[in-house]
Structure 1
Amino acid sequence: MSKSTNTPALQLLRQEKWRIIDQSSLGTNFQALQSFAMDDTLCTSVGQGESGAVCRTWVHDKTIVLGIQDTRLPHLQNGISYLQAEGYQVIVRNSGGLAVVLDRGVLNISLVFPEGEKAIDINRGYDAMYELTKHMFHDITTRIEAKEIIGSYCPGSYDLSINDQKFAGISQRRIRGGVAVQIYLCINESGSERATLIQEFYKRALQGEETKFAFPTIDPSVMASLTELTGLQLTVQDVMLRLLTSLKEWSGSLYANTLQGTETELYHQYHQRIIERNEKFM
């Protein structure tokens, strides 16, 4: 990717400063519900001008994140019981999309931007994450594509794939003038085994019933990890370094940080809210 280009997506990445909040190594005590509360907090803080642009990274072990649509599955509890028996925690996120798998081989990245006076077009946010991901791995491959991969879990037009095998998915969340663009990157282990888990979840939660919403028919062969696709033994730490190196090329500076001032109180409010929503759905 040429850095001389100045597309709207690249303009988003060219921040004067990137505030880095790295939560990729907090371990099992850091729960996925906390992550979604963190992004809502940062969306609000950035949108209100109390913080500049933020890049937050996060990893959660053995967690299935369901979307709101998944809660309408006719035999949801059967599906959840299966996932729990396989050792997975199950939560419902506070945004759209469908079920995804998180584990120690999946790195999540959230880029949080202020909308400012001119709203950020939804595709511009997606494109920014796409361009960042391509740049992070430009020395390994030039074959990363953004298109829907039929048969993958949580399919969408910004699935990222190599040779039609998906390794990442991108979503967005918007709150009070802040935009969080989120990606999960399957770094290592087996992408098809993750997909098989979701395939069995839908089988048990649907039990062959017709539903108004068309849930995906999972084909495990269309999903893989970056390690499988590139032949390189990549780790989360390797990809973290690639991420920070890429951001540094577009930014005046990077600085590590945690929640500050009123953000802490705001975080507790959002965390409590998502806990209550999960109690309702579960």
Structure 2
Amino acid sequence: MESSFNLVAYILLLAAVTLSLISLWRPNKYTGTLALAALVLSFTSLTLALVLRSITGGRLPLATLYEFALLFAWGILLFYFISRKMIKSDLLMVLVALLEVIILSYSNTLSSGTRPLMPALQSIWLQFHVLTAIIAYGAFGLSFCLGLIYLLKEKGYDSIGESILPPLAKIDNLLHWSVAVGFPFMTLVLITGAVWAEEVWGRWWGWDPKETWALITWLIYAAYLHARKTYGWRGKRAAIMAIVGFLAVLFTLFGVSLLLPGAHSYV
């Protein structure tokens, strides 16, 4: 049953990509509305899949790379819907839907089987650690898409229309908002991870590859916020930093798990 909801979510995301691209090519209220409806239904289906996985597994779906990929996609969609209160951009919808398709396509290559939690994962700190990561990475995923849009707008595609490429100041402000929301939760990711590590392995920090890359990610976003507040960094440089930060997020989540063995190899 859970896999059926995942499949439905994936198909709906593909539909959202197709419809939103059509809306970009030939703007009209119907295709844009249908694309948004497909995203909402995909989010609902993904939510149901996660709930069912929790029920059948007897635990929250926070322990495997497959589960986190689903939660990651869920978090990005959540922040996209929140962002629509500030910006309604057809291009942002396309980029978010494409990012979702990529994440769920990757999740389909991972083992989706449920298994009993190993001792290292039987901690309340795991739940805090992963839940704060969902919020942080969801916000950073939105900032990544906004950074790409900013660079396109900055290149001079002003004639396309505000519904596709909003004003630069609007994009920049929402990008900053998404990083400012995500950063405190990224800080909590490091703190809860350290407490969890001390409880399980008897040390706060061990320079495990995933710990190290999580710290690198934190430093990138800290630099972004510091540069904006201290030196007034906005615009293109800020957009590039947001993009680089999210690439670090992706490597931390998926690249490290695949390429660099360490204490997090089980996720």
State the TM-score, normalizing by the size of structure 2.
0.30
The structure richer in strand per residue is 1
Relative contact order higher in (CA < 8 Å, ≥ 6 apart): 1
State the TM-score, normalizing by the size of structure 1.
0.29
